[in-house]
Amino acid sequence: MTLWIAFSLLTVLAALAVLVPLARAGRQAATAAALHDAEVYKSQLAEVERDLDRGLISQEAAQAARTEIARRLIAADREAQRSSGSEPIAPQGDAAGRTSRLRIVQAAALVVVPLGAVAAYVAFGSPDLPDQPLSARLEAPAQGRSLPELVARVERHLADNPEDGRGWDVVAPVYMRMGRPQDAAAAYARAIRLLGSNVQRETDRGEALVVANSGIVSAEAHAAFERAVAMDAQAVKPRFFLALALTQENRKDEAIAAWQSLLADAQGGEAWAEAVRIELAKLGVEAPQVAGEGVAGPSREQIEAAQDMSSGDRQQMIRSMVDGLDARLTADGGSAQEWMQLMRALDVLGERERLRQVIARAGEALKDDPAAAAGVRDLARELGEGS
Amino acid sequence: MIIEIGHFALILAFVLSVLQSVVPVWGAVKGDRRLMAVAPPVAGMQFLLVGIAFAALMQAYMVSDFSVLNVVENSHSAKPTLYKITGVWGNHEGSLLLWVLILVLFGALVAAFGRNIPMELKAATLGVQGWVTAAFLLFMLATSNPFLRLSPAPMEGNDLNPILQDVGLAIHPPLLYVGYVGFSIVFSFAIAALILGRVDAAWARWVRPWTLLAWMFLTLGIAMGSYWAYYELGWGGYWFWDPVENASFMPWLAGTALLHSAIVMEKRGALKVWTVLLAILTFSLSLLGTFLVRSGVLTSVHAFATDPARGTFILGILVLFIGGSLALYAWRAPMLKQGGLFAPISREGALVLNNLLLTVATASVLVGTLYPLVLEVLTGEKISVGPPFFNLTFGPLMIPLLMAIPFGPFLAWKRGDLAAVGQRLYVVAGLALVAILVSAWWHGTQQILAALGVGLAVWVICGAAAEILSRARFGDVGLSTGLARLAGLPRSAWGTAFGHAGMGLTLLGIVAVSAFQEEKVLTIRPGDSVEIADYTLNFSGLAHRTGPNYVDDVGHFDILRDGRQVAVADPAKRLYTARQMPTTEAGIVTFGLSQIYVSIGEVHADGGADIRLYHKPLVTLIWIGCLVMSFGGVLSLLDRRLRVGAPKPARRKVAAAGQGGD
């Protein structure tokens, strides 16, 4: 509302800028152009005197110049006399034309200006969008804010308080989930420097480095995992990555030993155990199935095929598997766990739009099972698609 | 809400400018005083509205409002406040808004200070200014609207092009635009005179201050841009004959010619038709420059617009205004009354020579700038026209012009005596000869061309001084009267002297740098030292540094002379993180009028670096000369002569005649 009041004020001002002079101008006295000319010639005469004084021109030249300028001056004076006599304020013959011109311009000011401006504004403007200064957005209450907005707030806070270790600790996993592993690794490093090292932080930092390095365990990540294992020899995650490092370094026997020792600690049903079996399978070792139903992973043939592929082909294979799963779930329905597997896969592939559609479809398919639907909602929120 | 108010104000300004294009001109042609009276208030209102729009956009930049697309594309919340402000005009949309703001500013200035201008001329002038404003506002709203919004708004922007994040950018475009766009009002005066079919004797007198103002700012803008390129691009060059530079240089050349021909018109009533044409051409060249830079037909640092729709639109504006105004000129100019006659050897004659040479020089730059473009359009072949072309065409044209400069102010109007002037310039010629001999002796006879150049510069500078001294006539009237005469000289005489002396200083700088500079390109390791001119530079290594939105490698050089440390230089290689774009920050140290210039190229893993090292003698004179020239413009502008009082109505003529003096 205030906005439209401001618009009206501006429009009224604009219209007045046209209307007021229209109404008042008749009274002004005229100065004929010839009078201006006369003024110029007079100062030219003065200039001649100055030049003469400087010795730039001779006495005769000055006299000639004076004569020439005086002639023009007289002509201009005569012109001024004539025009001031023949140009009354409103010549009678043109009175009708004057009135109609006045009406046309008044109408334009009153109609064209407001209508034109409002019509163009409605076409181009966004009257419903408020201003959104960054500082206000960062200070607004957290409820109902999107994840990027919340992260920006934390970032702003950390830029001002770089020594706030808790802040870095909080933002690091969020970076991971947003697909910014580089930032996550840096945040973990700061948290470690400020709050001290522990198994969790070292492991998470290492993981972030691995993800940032497209899955390769770098020397830096390796060191982080080793520090974690030094603090807790039983920790599963750092051991997993160390085993992965051995695999990547092609130290086959050591890798198999490391994987098997990990598997020995499995209670059954852990998601990572499945991954370990896959890794072992890649190394050519058939691992015993541990208890727990588990969702069927890719078959051994598929894994072997995947190993020989380029990363582009591998991406392609993953996509075709995702598409297959999606088609099956859409057609025949499936368990909450299968829906969630699909959601995770889409999250990893970065297909946000499709992910949103799948979440909606999963909600629809599982609406008779409140617990399963809640699980899907939780995961959706975790993936940054909570509503 | 502020943003939307700015948007609405811009649209309202467009609607008003359409009205302004029609009503006052109609009134002027019909002799209807009421319609003419609309022009000044509407001009003021337009300035207010565009000012609101500009302030709204600047506010959006200041608070990092990323719901505005233009802010997202060109700003970043971590950017220093200064660059948030300058970022407003560091992009296509914002710079157009600045362009239009200056356009309406000049309209408002004429409305406010042009009380002594005859009503018809003022109304028609503001009406024509309205045409230009309407065309550019339509262009903005249709293709380059800075107020487009985004919802939902992103949390961070893309940052400003790092090369543009520099104090130079804060000053360069506004100065340049005041110059460029300032010529629009001169153009409007010319078109108004053609529409009314009459050029008053006082026309030149009203036009000259505006020309001077625009010319001064253009001079400063070009100088600033040149210095900015010098220290930011890392090549040590101050002028590249780059099409974008030429785009601003052509209106300057034509504007300089206009400035001089307007004097002839004002003093002698001659060259009327020619001056009107020059006024049209000068602004046409400004428009051409805007087209070249804004349409993206050139690919260089400045060309940040690369949208064919925009290019076509601006080309349309260009064709409409240049074609239209020249057609109007062809039709109406024969009706204008010609002015006084003069002999070839006279002040008028000298100014005609100046105009002739400047116009041909403008044409040569125009050919060099447009030829590659035309060739590319016609044959698809890409060529570049570089310094050799301009040195062969532009250079030779400047030599007679510079040689003639000291003669001009000494010549009398209408009929001059060249021999007498020559006698007065004997001493100056002697000084120039001494300068040539000293320079040749110092640098050896193989640098004879450079020595002649130095002589030419001294000739121009001393000629300007001699003219002022001759006006004082110390020899005839003694010291004290002479000083009094000097103080009593019209400021425009001082303006002429400073303007010409500034030209000489710039020339001296250019000659010295081109002929006597030393250059070294080498790879340097920490602990190495390198000698240039009389200086020794010790390189102590590179340090890593983090700025607000960049990281850089800073090299440190101690500069020694005769074994004593006299200065340090810290050139840097900088990486702007948001766009991952590297820039060079040259290390420049000034000794007197000369400079040592170091810039870092490739950085090696062992801590060494490739560097370019220059000693540039008298290089600062290039820009100091431009400042002096502009100062001359200021003096001229302050001349009381230009402030002609409004004439008294005819009945009080007798009283008016009494005070008709200076």
Give yes or no for B198 touching A (CB within 8 A).
Answer: yes
B176 found inside a domain: no
Asked if B139 and B254 sit in the same domain, the reply is no
Query: Are B412 and B451 within one domain?
Result: no
Provide the pLDDT for residue A379. 83
Question: Are B63 and A134 in contact (CB < 8 Å)?
Answer: yes
Q: What pLDDT does A302 receive?
A: 60
Interchain proximity A30–B33, CB inside 8 Å: yes
Q: Which of A64, A32, A29 is nearest to A48 (CA)?
A: A64
Residues B113, B232 within the same domain: no
Are A236 and A267 contacting, i.e. CB atoms less than 8 angstroms apart?
no
Identify the pLDDT of residue A309: 58
A107 touches chain B (CB under 8 A): no
User: Rounded to whole angstroms, how far apart are CA atoms A115 and A354?
Assistant: 44
pLDDT in tens, A145-190: 667 777 777 777 777 777 888 888 888 888 887 778 888 888 888 8
pLDDT higher at B179 or B161: B179
**What mean pLDDT value characterizes chain A?**
78
With a CB cutoff of 8 Å and minimum separation 6, the contacts of B650 are A32, A35, A80, A81, A84
Q: Is A121 on the interface with B (CB under 8 A)?
A: yes
- E-only strand ranges, B366-407: none
Confidence of residue A306 (pLDDT cuts 50, 70, 90): low
CB distance B119–A30 less than 8 Å? yes
Q: Are residues B356 and B497 in the same domain?
A: no
SS3 (DSSP) at B603: strand
Averaged pLDDT of chain B: 85
A39 closest CA partner among A2, A86, A76: A76
Q: Indicate the pLDDT class of residue B240, thresholds 50, 70 and 90.
A: confident
The residue segments making up the domain with residue B570 are: 518-616
Query: What phi-psi label fits residue B31: left (phi over 0), alpha (psi between -120 and 50 degrees) or beta?
Result: left
Q: List CB contacts (< 8 A) between A17 and chain B.
A: 16, 38, 41-42, 44-45
> How near does any CA of chain A get to the CA of B83, in Å?
17
Q: Looking at residue B323, what DSSP letter applies?
A: I
Q: CB-based burial of residue A25 (10 Å sphere; 0-12 exposed, 13-18 middle, 19+ buried)?
A: middle
Residue B193 sits in the same domain as residue B50:
no
- Rounded distance between C-alpha atoms, residue B47 and residue B64, angstroms: 25
In a domain, B287, yes or no: yes
B604 and B629 in a single domain? The answer is no
Which residue, B108, B104, B100, is CA-closest to B41? Answer: B108
Cβ pairs A/B, distance under 8 A = 236
pLDDT recorded at residue B424: 82
In DSSP terms, which residues pair with B545 in a beta bridge? B552
Question: Domain check: are B571 and B631 in the same one?
Answer: no
How confident is residue A80, by pLDDT bands cut at 50, 70 and 90? confident
Instruction: Give the minimum alpha-carbon distance from A20 to chain B in angstroms, rounded to a whole number.
Output: 8
Q: Specify the amino acid at residue B352.
A: V
Nearest to B200 among A24, A36, A54 (CB): A36
Q: Tell me, what's the ipTM?
A: 0.81
| The one-letter amino acid at A330 | T
Interface test with chain B among A3, A36, A66, A98, by most B beta carbons within 10 Å: A36
**CB–CB of B30 and A130 under 8 A?**
no
DSSP H/E element including B221: helix B203-232
Span B88-98, mean pLDDT? 89
Arithmetic mean of pLDDT, B587-596: 90
Of B396, B424, B452, which marks where a domain is finished?
B424
- What single-letter amino acid sits at A190? R
Distance from CA of A131 to the nearest CA of B (A): 6
Question: What is the spatial distance between Cα A80 and Cα A36, in angstroms, rounded to a whole number?
Answer: 9
Q: Does residue B574 have a pLDDT over 80?
A: yes
| Distance, CA of B380 to CA of B197 (rounded, Å) | 45
Residues of B in Cβ contact (< 8 Å) with A148 = 154-155
Residues A244 and A207 sit within 8 Å (Cβ to Cβ): no
- Whether pLDDT at B651 is above 60: no
Q: DSSP readout, B260-280? A: HHHHHHHHHS-SHHHHHHHHH
Based on the fold, state whether residues B271 and B359 are members of the same structural domain.
Answer: yes
A147 touches chain B (CB under 8 A): no
Q: Who among B1, B121, B661 is closest to A130 (CB)?
A: B1
Give the minimum alpha-carbon distance from B379 to chain A in angstroms, rounded to a whole number.
40
Q: Do B38 and A18 touch (CB under 8 A)?
A: yes
A26 → closest Cβ in B34, B77, B153: B34
What pLDDT does residue B285 have? 94
Residues A175, A179, A185, A190: what is their CA dihedral angle, to the nearest 10 degrees? Answer: -20
Beta strands in B158-203 (DSSP E): none
Cα–Cα distance measured from residue B552 to residue B546, given in angstroms and rounded to the nearest whole number: 6
For residue A84, the model assigns a pLDDT of 60
DSSP string, B288-349: HHHHHHHS--S-STT-----HHHHHHHHHHHIIIIIHHHHHHHHHGGGSPP-----SSSHHH
Phi and psi at B118, nearest 5°, equal: -55, 145
User: Looking at beta carbons, which residues of chain A come within 8 Å of B35?
Assistant: 22, 101-102, 105
Q: Where are the domains of chain A?
A: 2-22+31-86+97-124, 313-382
Tell me the CATH number of domain A313-382, given options 1.10.10, 1.10.3470, 1.10.287, 1.25.40.
Answer: 1.25.40
Q: How far apart are CA B627 and CA B175, in angstroms?
A: 13
Query: In this structure, is residue B648 part of a structural domain?
Result: no
Residues B437, B483: one domain? Answer: yes
- When mean pLDDT is compared across A19-33, A45-59, B292-306, the lowest value belongs to B292-306
Give Cβ neighbours of residue A175 (< 8 Å, ≥ 6 apart). A151, A181, A183, A184, A187, A208
3-state secondary structure of A161: coil
Mean pLDDT along residues B193-211: 84
Instruction: Residue A77: name the closest of B121, B653, B267, B655 by CA.
Output: B653
Q: Is the pLDDT of residue B645 over 60?
A: no
Same domain, B128 and B22: yes
Q: Which residue has the higher pLDDT, A312 or B655?
A: A312
User: Is the same domain home to B232 and B342?
Assistant: yes
Residue B304 pLDDT > 60, yes or no?
A: no
Do residues B368 and B504 share a domain? no
* Total of domains in chain B: 4
Distance between CA B354 and CA B363 in Å, rounded?
14
The highest-confidence range among B232-236, B242-246, B339-343, B429-433, by mean pLDDT, is B429-433
Query: What residues in B contact A33, CB-CB < 8 Å?
Result: 118, 120-121, 198, 200
